[in-house]
C-alpha cells in the first residue's frame, strides 16, 4: 500500500506545481478540457448505469436504483439474474441459474478471483454501489469481454473522478438504517478537480446485527461489518492523453454465514490499477492500456459457533496480476471493429488446519487449494456491420491460451493418492465465436438471432480442489486436474419493441453444453469431513441442456405512472435428463411507478412458483411458492447548490417466511423490514 500512497502524493504534487507555474495556461486549459471526448460527463455522483443483455437502460431503472442500498440489490434487479444466499452478506449472483464457476466477474476489465473455497466471497462482495459507475452483464457464450466462460460475464465499472471546472469540489453523504437487521450504513464520496488532476475518494461502512426471518425468529450468525474505501487519481498528461491510478480496498470482518458451518473472521481485498488513456495512437482509436494487481485474503472462522464438530482454520488467498490493451480499429457509419489483447496470471492457495476436540491428538493439515497457478493470454475482436438497410451483423471472437499448474510439493503428494499430478503445466486453447444478426423491422421494432460457442476452463476448485465440503448437497468434492474444457453452444433470439417510454422485450435462449462439469458421486471413496455423505469428483459429463427466457415490459400510462412487468424462467437438465441443481423457478415481478409531486411511490409484488423439478443427485428439496410485497418511496429535494434525497420503504410487507430454491441450506430470508436512507449531494 505504501508505494501506492507515494504515487498518489507524487501525482498530486505534480498537479499543484503545474498550477503555480502555468497560471496563464490554466485558463485556456479549463476550456479545452470540456471538449475532450473521454471526460466523464455525468456530474451527478449517484448516476449509475445498469446494463443487461440489451445494453440499454430504461427509465424505470433510474428510479429503482435510488432504492437500492447495496451491490447485491443492484445485481438482483437485473433481468435474468438471481442472488444465491449463504447469509445476509456476499450473495452469489446466478446468471440464468448458473453459478460463479461458469461466469467471469471482472472489475473494470480486471480479472479477480474470490479467495474462499466455500464461495463465501463472490467478487461482487468487494464492490460497493458508491464505487460503481456501471455494471455490464452478459449471458451464456455471447459477449465474453474479459475472459472465456460458458455462463456469461459480469463487469463492474468503477466510478472515475470527474473533471468539472465549474464545480471543482463535489461531495455526497449518505446514511441508512434497516430494521430487520438493525443495520446502519454510512457512505461518502468526494470529488476534486483542479487543473490537470481530478481526485475521487469514497468510503463505506456497514454494520448489521442478526436479522429476523419471516417466522419472527432471529437468524443466528447472520451479522456482518465492513469497510470499503477507494481512491482514484486521473492526471492529464496532454490534451489527448490521461493517466489514471485506481485503488480499492475492502475489509469485512465478523461476517456470519448461517447456512454454512463456518463464519468469516476477516476478508480483505485490495485492487490496484494504472491506466493510460489516449484519444488515438496511429491506427488505434480510444486506446486504453491497463496494468493491474489485486489480492484477497480470506480467513474463515468457527470459534464463535456454539457447537462445532471440530474447530478448523481455513485461510484462503488469491492474487492476480494482469494487463490489457484495447482500442477501436475501425469506426464508420457502417462498421465498427473493437479489439482487445490481455493477459493475467493468478495464484490461489487455501489450507485447512483441523483441531481435534481430544487434545491428545495432533492438529491435522491439508492444502485445499495447493498453490494453484493460472496464466492466460487472449486476443479478442468484436465487429459490427450494417450490411443492408434493415440488417445488422455482429461477429465476436476470442481466442485464449491458458496454462494451469500447482507448485506445492505437498499438493502434488496429495494428488499422488489418486495417481494424478498437477506439477506439469496443463495447456489449453480456448475459443469463442459468436454471430448475431439483428433485423430492424421499424426503427422501434427489432428481432435478433444469435449463435455463440464458447468454452471455459474448469474453475480452480473443479480442477485442483482437495476435499472441499459443499454444504448444498453435503458431499466432499475432489478436483480433477485432467478435466476437459466445458463447452456451450448458445442459441438466442430476442424481440423488442418500444413505443415512447413503453417497451416490450422478450428473450429466449437455449444452452447446449458438452463436457458439462458437475460433481459425480464416487462410492469407492469415503467422506473426510465430519457429517459429509460421501465424496464426489468434479467430472466432465456428456451434456447438459438449458432453456429459458425473460420478458420485460414497461407500460407508461401517463408521464406520472407506469407499470413494469418482468418474467424469468429457466429449465435445466443434466446428461441423464434429470433437473440441474439450483435452478430458479418461474419468477414474476410487477411494479408500479407513481410520481406525486416530489415523491415517487414504487409498490412491487414478486411471485415465485413452486420448484418441484429438483436434483436428487444434489439432495435438493422442493421449494414452496411465495409472494413478496414491497413498498418503496423516494423524495428528492433539488436546491441550487445541493440536492438531497430520501428513500424509505417496507420490504416483505406481509412478513412472508420464504427462501429461494437455490439458497444454500434451509435458512429463511429476512422478514418484514423498514428502511430509511437519506443522501445529500453537494
Partner 1 sequence: MGEKISQSFHSCDGYNNIKNLMKLLSIVLLGLTILTMSSCNNDEVEPIFKTDLSEIISVTENDLTITLYAAEDFFVGYNSITAKIEDASGNLLSGNVSVAPIMNMEMMTHACPLEYPNGQNFTNGSFEFNSVFVMPSGEMGSWTLTFDVDGMAVKMPITVVQPEFSKLKSFVSEMNDASYFVAFIEPSAPEVGQNDIELAIYKKESMMSWPAVENLSLEIEPWMVSMDHGSPNNEAPVHVDNGHYTGKVNFTMTGDWQIRITVMEGRSKHGEPYFDLVF
Judged by the rule CB under 8 A, the positions of this chain that interact with partner 1 are: 310, 352, 354, 356-358, 361-366, 410, 412-419, 466-467, 524-528, 530, 535
The smaller minimum CB distance to partner 1, of residues 368 and 514, is found at 368
Residues 6 or more apart in contact with residue 226 via CB below 8 angstroms: 89, 204, 205, 206, 207, 250, 251, 252, 253, 255
**In whole angstroms, how close is the CB of 414 to partner 1 at the nearest point?**
6
For residue 429, what is the enclosing H or E element?
strand 426-442
Three-state secondary structure of 33-92: HHHCCCCCCCCCCCCCEEECCCCCCCHHHHHHHHCCCCHHHHHHCCCCEEEECCCCCCCE
**Which CB sits closer to partner 1, 43 or 530?**
530
- C-alpha cell of residue 357: 476436540
Radius of gyration of the CA atoms of the chain, in A: 25
Q: Minimum distance between the CB of residue 311 and partner 1, rounded to whole angstroms?
A: 12
135 vs 478 by CB, closer to partner 1: 478
Three cell numbers written together for 99: 453459478
Residue 299, sorted as left (phi over 0), alpha (psi -120 to 50) or beta, turns out to be beta
Q: Which residues of 613-649 are buried (b: 16+ CB within 10 A; e: fewer)?
A: bbbebbebeebeebebbbebbbbeeeeeeebbbbbbb
Tell me the C-alpha distance between 146 and 111, whole Å. Answer: 7
Kindly list the distances between the CA atom of residue 56 and the CA atoms of 79, 229, 334, 475, 498, in Å, as whole numbers in the listed order.
12, 29, 21, 42, 12
Determine the 3-state secondary structure of 639 from DSSP: coil
Q: What is the 3-state secondary structure (H, E, C) of 110-145?
A: EECCCCCCCCCCCHHHHCCHHHEEEEEEEECCCCCC
Q: In terms of DSSP H, where are the helices of 222-306? A: none
Residue with cell 510439493: 409
Nearer to partner 1, 424 or 526 (CB): 526
Task: Report how far residue 187's alpha carbon sits from residue 202's, in angstroms, rounded to the nearest whole number.
Answer: 7
Q: How far is the CB of 302 from partner 1 (least distance, A)?
A: 15
First-to-last C-alpha distance (Å) of the chain? 30
Instruction: Work out whether strand 391-406 and strand 152-158 pair parallel, antiparallel, or are unpaired.
Output: unpaired
- DSSP 3-state of 586: coil
SS3 label, residue 281? strand
Annotate 357-372 with DSSP letters as a single string: SSTTSPPEEEEEEEEE
Nearer to partner 1, 457 or 528 (CB): 528
Q: How far is the CB of 523 from partner 1 (least distance, A)?
A: 11
**Which C-beta is closer to partner 1: that of 13 or that of 309?**
309
- CA-based nearest residue to 289, from 237, 336, 228, 248: 237
Choose between 415 and 430: whose C-beta lies nearer to partner 1. 415
Residue (418 or 557) nearer to partner 1, CB: 418
Min separation Cβ 415 and partner 1, Å:
8
Nearer to partner 1, 528 or 628 (CB): 528
Closer Cβ to partner 1, 162 or 350, answer by number: 350
User: Closest CB to partner 1 among 410 and 654?
Assistant: 410
Which residues have CB under 8 Å from 77's CB, separation 6+? 50, 61, 64, 68
Whose Cβ is closer to partner 1: residue 369's or residue 602's?
Answer: 369
Question: To the nearest whole angstrom, how small is the minimum distance from the Cβ of residue 366 to partner 1?
Answer: 4
The rounded distance, in Å, linking the Cα atoms of 512 and 515 is 10
332 vs 360, which CB is nearer to partner 1?
Answer: 360
Of 204 and 354, which CB lies nearer to partner 1 in the complex structure?
Answer: 354
Q: How far is the CB of 469 from partner 1 (least distance, A)?
A: 12
CB of 593: closest distance to partner 1 in angstroms? 56
C-alpha cell at 273: 490499477
| Max CA pair span of the chain | 81
Cell of 175: 446514511
Quickly tell me which residue has 436504483 as its cell: 65
Q: Which is nearer to partner 1, 207 or 311 (CB)?
A: 311
In the bound complex, what is the minimum distance in angstroms from residue 504's beta carbon to partner 1?
Answer: 56
Amino acid at each position: 500500500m505504501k508505494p501506492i500512497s507515494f504515487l498518489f502524493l507524487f501525482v498530486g504534487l505534480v498537479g499543484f506545481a503545474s498550477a503555480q507555474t502555468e497560471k496563464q495556461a490554466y485558463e485556456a486549459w479549463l476550456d479545452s478540457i470540456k471538449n475532450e471526448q473521454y471526460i466523464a460527463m455525468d456530474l451527478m455522483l449517484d448516476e449509475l448505469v445498469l446494463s443487461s443483455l440489451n445494453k440499454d437502460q430504461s427509465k424505470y431503472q433510474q428510479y429503482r436504483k435510488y432504492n437500492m442500498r447495496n451491490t447485491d440489490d443492484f445485481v438482483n434487479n437485473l433481468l435474468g439474474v438471481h442472488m444465491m444466499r449463504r447469509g445476509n452478506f456476499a450473495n452469489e449472483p446466478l446468471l440464468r441459474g448458473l453459478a460463479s464457476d461458469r461466469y467471469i466477474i471482472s472489475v473494470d476489465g480486471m480479472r479477480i478471483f474470490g479467495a474462499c473455497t466455500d464461495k463465501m466471497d463472490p467478487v461482487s462482495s468487494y464492490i460497493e454501489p458508491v464505487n460503481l459507475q456501471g455494471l455490464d452483464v452478459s449471458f451464456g457464450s455471447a459477449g465474453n469481454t474479459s475472459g472465456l466462460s460458458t455462463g456469461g460475464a459480469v463487469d463492474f465499472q468503477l466510478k472515475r473522478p470527474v473533471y468539472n471546472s465549474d464545480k471543482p469540489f463535489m461531495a455526497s453523504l449518505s446514511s441508512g438504517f434497516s430494521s430487520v437487521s438493525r443495520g446502519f450504513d454510512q457512505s461518502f464520496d468526494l470529488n476534486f478537480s483542479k487543473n490537470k488532476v481530478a481526485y475521487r475518494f469514497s468510503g463505506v461502512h456497514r454494520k448489521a446485527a442478526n436479522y429476523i426471518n419471516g417466522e419472527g425468529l432471529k437468524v443466528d450468525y447472520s451479522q456482518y461489518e465492513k469497510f470499503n474505501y477507494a481512491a482514484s487519481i486521473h492526471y492529464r498528461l496532454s490534451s489527448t492523453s490521461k493517466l489514471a491510478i485506481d485503488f480499492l480496498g475492502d475489509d469485512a470482518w465478523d461476517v456470519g454465514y448461517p447456512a454454512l458451518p463456518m463464519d468469516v473472521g476477516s476478508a480483505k481485498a485490495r485492487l490496484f490499477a494504472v491506466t493510460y488513456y489516449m484519444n488515438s495512437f496511429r491506427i488505434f482509436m480510444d486506446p486504453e492500456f491497463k496494468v493491474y494487481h489485486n489480492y484477497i485474503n480470506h480467513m474463515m472462522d468457527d470459534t464463535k459457533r456454539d457447537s462445532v464438530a471440530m474447530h478448523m482454520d481455513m485461510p484462503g488467498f488469491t492474487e492476480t496480476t494482469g494487463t490489457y490493451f484495447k482500442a477501436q480499429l475501425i469506426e464508420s457509419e457502417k462498421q465498427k471493429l473493437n479489439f482487445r489483447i490481455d493477459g493475467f496470471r493468478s495464484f490461489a492457495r487455501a489450507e485447512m488446519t483441523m483441531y481435534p476436540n481430544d487434545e491428545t491428538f495432533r492438529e491435522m493439515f491439508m492444502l485445499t487449494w495447493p498453490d494453484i497457478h493460472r496464466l492466460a493470454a487472449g486476443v479478442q475482436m468484436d465487429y459490427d456491420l450494417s450490411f443492408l438497410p434493415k440488417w445488422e451483423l455482429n461477429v465476436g471472437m476470442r481466442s485464449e491460451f491458458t496454462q494451469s499448474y500447482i507448485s506445492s510439493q505437498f499438493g502434488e503428494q496429495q494428488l499422488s493418492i489418486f495417481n494424478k499430478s498437477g506439477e506439469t503445466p496443463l495447456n489449453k486453447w480456448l475459443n469463442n465465436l459468436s454471430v448475431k444478426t439483428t433485423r430492424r423491422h421499424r426503427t422501434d421494432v427489432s428481432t435478433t438471432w444469435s449463435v455463440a460457442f464458447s468454452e471455459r476452463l474448469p474453475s480452480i476448485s473443479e480442477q485442483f480442489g482437495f476435499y472441499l465440503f459443499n454444504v448444498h448437497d453435503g458431499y466432499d468434492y475432489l478436483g480433477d486436474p485432467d478435466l476437459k474444457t466445458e463447452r456451450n453452444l448458445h442459441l438466442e433470439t430476442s424481440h423488442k419493441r418500444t413505443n415512447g417510454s413503453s417497451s416490450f422485450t422478450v428473450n429466449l435462449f437455449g444452452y447446449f453444453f458438452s463436457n458439462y462439469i458437475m460433481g459425480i458421486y464416487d462410492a469407492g471413496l469415503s467422506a473426510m469431513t465430519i457429517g459429509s455423505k460421501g465424496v464426489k469428483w468434479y467430472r466432465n459429463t456428456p451434456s447438459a441442456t438449458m432453456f429459458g427466457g425473460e420478458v420485460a415490459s414497461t407500460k407508461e400510462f401517463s408521464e406520472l405512472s407506469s407499470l413494469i412487468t418482468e418474467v424469468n424462467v429457466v429449465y435445466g437438465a443434466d446428461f441423464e435428463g434429470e433437473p440441474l441443481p439450483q435452478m430458479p423457478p418461474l419468477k414474476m415481478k410487477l411494479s408500479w411507478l407513481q410520481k406525486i409531486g416530489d415523491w415517487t411511490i414504487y409498490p412491487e409484488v414478486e411471485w415465485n412458483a413452486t420448484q418441484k423439478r429438483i436434483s436428487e443427485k444434489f439432495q435438493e428439496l422442493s421449494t414452496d411458492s411465495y409472494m413478496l410485497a414491497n413498498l418503496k418511496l423516494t423524495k428528492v429535494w433539488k436546491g441550487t447548490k445541493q440536492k438531497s434525497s430520501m428513500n424509505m420503504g417496507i420490504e416483505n410487507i406481509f412478513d412472508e417466511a420464504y427462501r429461494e430454491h437455490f439458497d444454500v441450506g434451509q435458512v429463511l430470508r429476512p422478514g418484514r423490514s423498514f428502511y430509511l436512507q437519506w443522501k445529500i449531494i453537494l
